[in-house]
Structure 1
Amino acid sequence: MAKSVLLVLMVLIAFYSCSCSAISCGSLTLDLLPCLPYLRSGGGDPSSFCCNEIKQLNAAIRGKEARQGACKCILQQGKRYNINWNNAKQLPGFCKVNLPVPVSPNTDCSRVS
């Protein structure tokens, strides 16, 4: 429980300290917290709350800069929170969303257009 509180606090600090014009990594991470159980261990379909967050994220990622930033954040946070990349690849399909950002630990984010 204490780890969850600390995680939320760290994400909030990152979100509010960023003066980015594109979506911030802190905001993206905060939005994806409801998906973390699925991203780590899978097991059934992701929650409807998780899918709603994925749909909102999809709507927010507009433009090359935003897609590259989201890509970098997904890679960084995926490693940090030890997600299962196969679950991450399947998540957009389960939520019926076509994310404009590749979900793979080997993605070169500078090539995302």
Structure 2
Amino acid sequence: MIKCSDVSNKISACLSYLKQGGEVPADCCTGVKGLNDAAKTTPDRQTACNCLKTTFKSNKDFKSDFAASLPSKCGVNIPYKISLETDCNKVK
């Protein structure tokens, strides 16, 4: 079972990238991959999605374009877009 604290810990290395862009830190990609690996079931993926949205709402400096490009920059295939517009209930 994924908790929001797990999600926050895994993406903590991504915070500077999410604010400013540029190079994605290697430890950020490690966290993104770890989060993706941890979210194996539909409920876990929905929880991770909702936690990401909560994190983004509380950090007004984050740029949605940087968030959306994060999985591809890290070579991770996430089955939904990391965006405030994503309906996490539809994530499978």
Same topology, TM > 0.5: yes
User: Which has the bigger relative contact order, CA under 8 A and spacing at least 6?
Assistant: 2
**Which residue of the partner structure matches residue 91 of structure 1?**
70
Count of residue pairs brought into register by the alignment: 91
In the superposition, the TM-score normalised over structure 2's length comes to 0.92
Regions of 4+ moved over 3 Å: none
Please tell me whether Structure 1 or Structure 2 has the larger radius of gyration of its CA atoms.
Answer: 1
Q: Deviations over 1:44-86 (max 9, x none)?
A: 2211111111111111011110011011011110111121110
The root-mean-square deviation of aligned C-alpha atoms, in Å, is: 1.0
| Cα contact 1:58–1:100 (8 A) shared by 2 | no
Gaps of 5+ in 1: 1-21
Gaps of 5+ in 2: none
**Amino acid aligned to 1:50:** C
| Offset at residue 102 of structure 1 (A) | 2.5
| Cα contact 2:80–2:86 (8 A) shared by 1 | no
The structure 2 residue matched to 1:76, chosen from 54, 72, 76, is 54
**Structure 2 Cα separation of the partners of residues 63 and 102 of structure 1:** 17
